[in-house]
Chain A
Amino acid sequence: EPEVTQTPSHQVTQMGQEVILRCVPISNHLYFYWYRQILGQKVEFLVSFYNNEISEKSEIFDDQFSVERPDGSNFTLKIRSTKLEDSAMYFCASRTETSDYEQYFGPGTRLTVT
């Protein structure tokens, strides 16, 4: 069964450093998403991406964040200058163009900012 994959599984970085989180969505999916989950809290939407551009973004997704689909398979989330409060699990998700809007999640990248 096709799966969303994410790398790395765990990233440790120092405050102020740039990080890039990588995702490979399911191959025939057209909508891509990033969510985050701070430890002990709920899953929160960050950004959606369709047709090579951002479709929607939340208040969390400020100028420090960017997304890119550099080729036909990868989907990346960049945080330019990490802050302590960026420590969280970051989940990538994707879906097809169907009416049910079911999204399938990758295993996540645990980001620890020290």
Chain B
Amino acid sequence: RKEVEQDPGPFNVPEGATVAFNCTYSNSASQSFFWYRQDCRKEPKLLMSVYSSGNEDGRFTAQLNRASQYISLLIRDSKLSDSATYLCVVNLVSSGSARQLTFGSGTQLTVLP
């Protein structure tokens, strides 16, 4: 079983649409959760951290369900500039303190005019 699993898409949506991405993780002891976005051939950029209480940043809302080991990202009123690959990222517990990130394969989003 993959450590972090995402629907690869692609998701093709019109401007203004609401789109939701889901992610599951296998290690129940995982402690920190993030959504990163990655544009083609660029570095991953932190979009938002994800907390159990849910958090919102403008048009973006992230949710975490620890019982189901499930993370979601909702994008409202999508813009052309939202077109990217969205990476679900988990910080797995390890013996060291450095806490490397474990990435999902990403979900590709294309927002169409």
Within 8 A of B (CB), among A43-89: 43-45, 48-50, 55-56, 58, 89
Say whether chain A's binding surface is mostly helix, strand, loop, or mixed: strand
Bound-complex Cα distance A81 to B56 (A): 46
Total residues of chain A contacting the partner, CB 8 A: 27
- For B41, list chain A residues within 8 Å (CB): 89, 110
| B92 CB, min distance to chain A CBs, angstroms | 10
Q: Is the CB of B103 within 8 A of A43?
A: yes
A102 CB contacts on chain B under 8 angstroms: 34, 46, 49
**A103 within 8 A of partner (CB):** yes
Question: Considering only CB atoms and an 8 Å cut-off, how many residues of chain B contact the other chain?
Answer: 26
Please name all residues of chain B whose beta carbon is closer than 8 Å to the beta carbon of A106 when the two chains form the complex. 43
Q: B104's contact among A42, A48, A55, A91, by CB below 8 Å, is which?
A: A42
Given the complex of chains A and B, what is the CA–CA distance between A44 and B38 in angstroms? Answer: 14
Q: A50-B97, A102-B49 are in contact. Are A45 and B102 (CB under 8 A)?
A: yes
Q: What is the interface of chain B, defined by CB distance below 8 A to chain A? A: 31-32, 34, 38, 41-46, 49, 87, 91, 94-106
**14 chain-A/chain-B pairs, Cβ below 8 angstroms:** A42-B87, A43-B38, A43-B44, A45-B102, A48-B96, A56-B95, A56-B96, A101-B91, A102-B34, A106-B43, A107-B42, A108-B42, A108-B43, A110-B41
Given contacts A35-B101, A110-B41, 8 further A-B contacts (CB under 8 A): A31-B99, A44-B103, A48-B98, A56-B98, A93-B101, A101-B101, A105-B43, A108-B43
